[in-house]
Amino acid sequence: MLLGASLVGALLFSKLVLKLPWTQVGFSLLLLYLGSGGWRFIRIFIKTVRRDVFGGLVLLKVKAKVRRYLRERQTVPTLFASTVQRHPDKTALIFEGTDTHWTFRQLDEYSSSVANFLQARGLASGDVAALFMENRNEFVGLWLGMAKLGVEAALINTNLRRDALLHCVTTSRARALIFGNEMAPAVCEIHANLEPSLSLFCSGSWQPSAVPASTEHLDPLLKGAPKHLPSRPDKGFTDKLFYIYTSGTTGLPKAAIVVHSRYYRMAALVYYGFRMRRDDIVYDCLPLYHSAGNIVGMGQCLLHGMTVVIRKKFSASRFWDDCIKYNCTIVQYIGELCRYLLNQPPRDSENQHQVRMALGNGLRQSIWTSFSSRFHIPQVAEFYGATECNCSLGNFDGQVGACGFNSRILSFVYPIRLIRVNEDTMELIRGADGVCIPCQPGEPGQLVGRIIQKDPLRRFDGYLNQGANNKKIAKDVFKKGDQAYLTGDVLVMDELGYLYFRDRTGDTFRWKGENVSTTEVEGTLSRLLDMADVAVYGVEVPGTEGRAGMAAVAIATNNCDLEHFAQVLEKELPLYARPIFLRFLPELHKTGTYKFQKTELRKEGFNPAIVKDPLFYLDTRKGFYVPLDQEAYTRIQAGEEKL
Backbone angles phi and psi of 577, in degrees to 5: -95, -10
Residue 323 lies in a domain: no
Same domain, 81 and 208: yes
Same domain, 270 and 239: yes
Q: Pick the last residue of a domain from 504, 537, 562.
A: 504
Residue range(s) defining the domain that contains residue 270: 73-313
> What average pLDDT does range 557-571 have in this prediction?
82
Same domain, 200 and 128: yes
In this model, does residue 534 exceed pLDDT 80?
A: yes
3-class DSSP assignment, residue 418: strand
Least-confidence region, from 51-60, 163-172, 345-354, 517-526: 517-526
In this model, does residue 374 exceed pLDDT 80?
A: yes
In this model, does residue 593 exceed pLDDT 60?
A: no
In this model, does residue 365 exceed pLDDT 90?
A: no
Q: Pick the last residue of a domain from 473, 504, 535.
A: 504
> What average pLDDT does range 178-191 have in this prediction?
97
Give the Cα separation of 547 and 16 in Å (integer).
47
Structure confidence at residue 458 (pLDDT):
86
DSSP letters for 106-118: HHHHHHHHHHHHH
> What average pLDDT does range 451-461 have in this prediction?
86
pLDDT band (50, 70, 90) for residue 448 = very high
211-231: pLDDT as tens digits:
999 999 999 999 999 999 999
Give the residue, 460 or 308, on which the prediction is more confident. 308
pLDDT band (50, 70, 90) for residue 591 = low
pLDDT band (50, 70, 90) for residue 412 = low
Residue 175 lies in a domain: yes
Instruction: Please enumerate in sequence order all residues whose Cβ is within 8 A of that of 178, keeping only pairs 6 or more positions apart, or say none.
Output: 129, 130, 131, 132, 133, 142, 201, 202, 203, 218
Give the Cα separation of 218 and 236 in Å (integer).
29
pLDDT band (50, 70, 90) for residue 316 = very high
Same domain, 476 and 559: no
58-69: pLDDT as tens digits:
999 999 999 999
pLDDT band (50, 70, 90) for residue 1 = very low
Is the distance from CB of 528 to CB of 517 less than 8 angstroms?
A: no
pLDDT band (50, 70, 90) for residue 25 = low
| CATH code of the domain in which 612 resides | 3.30.300.30
> What average pLDDT does range 300-320 have in this prediction?
97
118-154: pLDDT as tens digits:
999 999 999 999 999 999 999 999 999 999 999 999 9
Alpha-carbon distances of 413 from 52, 56, 63, 78, 167, rounded to whole Å: 9, 7, 12, 30, 40
In this model, does residue 446 exceed pLDDT 70?
A: yes
> What average pLDDT does range 572-578 have in this prediction?
85
**Count of domains observed in the chain:** 4
